[in-house]
């Protein structure tokens, strides 16, 4: 079995189909890890969602911020944004089956020495702690998704504290796992920064660049940061190469980590769109 990891699709189904063909993906022997953001911004969110779901157990998926946003809109807890391209999913005859499948995807997945999340981890989180927090969010999603989505949006609290509880704990976990790019060594996050990380003397650094982060025993696979493009340093693999912005959809063989395979994409959103 070959394990491939694929970056943020964001509704770019044509590129996903081409990439799977170039990988010579075989459902009887291979597995594909998807770093989240299957939908939104691109032109074919419905087709992309159907394609990934059709892979069954051969697809390992973690939820990204755009996937959660789709679910929040579907549950009536959030209005669509002008830049959303989710109408076809919400109007599809198989909408309920697709959304029921999506909401059961985790926010973190671990296998062997690998950990996959959509965005990142604060330095204080171990692999085991990350998985436990992801399970807490998953339990809340299954128990009362509408209640969770109504309290999910917002940037506070902005610092990790083991004493966080209730909605604040869940919101912080979701923000870190699906939105984080930079943070301080003591676990303060800045969710407004989307481009290049700030230069010294700012204490904010890419989450994976903190030398003492507690998750460094794992190889972390992530997406979400198209401004950085491909990242293969500090024991991580970052795979958001900006497909929906006119970049590429990229994949890597997790077992050999040989050359990255990329499929060029047509730009669907203006640079800097929120």
Q: pLDDT tens digits, the chain, 274 residues: what are they?
A: 899 999 999 999 999 999 999 999 998 899 999 999 999 999 999 999 999 999 999 999 999 999 999 999 999 999 999 999 999 999 999 999 999 999 999 999 999 999 999 999 999 999 999 999 999 999 999 999 999 999 999 999 999 999 999 999 999 999 999 999 999 999 999 999 999 999 999 999 999 999 999 999 999 999 999 999 999 999 999 999 999 999 999 999 999 867 799 999 988 775 444 4
Confidence at residue 270, expressed as pLDDT on a 0 to 100 scale:
57
**pLDDT at position 271:** 47
Q: What is the pLDDT of residue 273?
A: 46
Distance CA 86, CA 103 (A): 16
Contact 215, 235 (CB under 8 A): no
This prediction's pTM? 0.96
CA dihedral for 224, 91, 15, 248, sign (positive or negative): negative
Tell me how far apart the alpha carbons of residues 127 and 250 are, in angstroms, rounded to a whole number: 25
- Complete domains list, the chain, with CATH: 2-264 (3.60.21.10)
- CA-CA distance, 209 to 228, in Å (whole number)? 13
């Amino acid at each position: 079995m070959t394990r491939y990891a694929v970056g943020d699709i964001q509704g770019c189904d044509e590129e996903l189909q081409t990439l799977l063909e170039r990988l010579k993906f075989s459902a009887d022997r291979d597995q594909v890890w998807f770093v989240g953001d299957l939908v939104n911004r691109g032109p074919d969110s419905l087709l992309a969602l159907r394609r990934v779901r059709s892979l069954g157990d051969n697809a390992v998926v973690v939820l990204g911020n755009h996937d959660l946003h789709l679910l929040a809109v579907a549950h009536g807890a959030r209005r669509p944004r002008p830049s959303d391209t989710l109408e076809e999913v919400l109007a599809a005859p198989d909408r309920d089956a697709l959304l029921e499948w999506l909401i059961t995807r985790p926010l973190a997945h671990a296998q062997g020495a690998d950990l996959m999340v959509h965005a990142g981890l604060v330095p204080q989180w171990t692999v085991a702690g990350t998985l436990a927090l992801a399970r807490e969010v998953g339990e809340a999603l299954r128990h009362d998704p509408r209640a969770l989505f109504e309290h999910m949006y917002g940037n506070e609290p902005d610092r990790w504290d083991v004493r966080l509880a209730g909605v604040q704990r869940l919101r912080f976990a979701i923000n870190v796992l699906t939105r984080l790019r930079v943070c301080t060594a003591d676990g303060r996050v800045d969710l407004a920064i989307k481009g290049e990380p700030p230069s010294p003397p700012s204490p904010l650094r890419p989450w994976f660049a903190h030398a003492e982060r507690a998750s460094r025993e794992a190889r972390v696979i992530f997406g979400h940061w198209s401004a950085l493009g491909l990242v293969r340093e500090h024991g991580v693999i970052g795979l958001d190469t900006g497909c929906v912005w006119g970049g590429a959809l990229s994949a890597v063989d997790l077992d050999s980590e040989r050359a990255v395979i990329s499929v060029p994409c047509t730009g669907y959103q203006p640079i800097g769109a929120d």
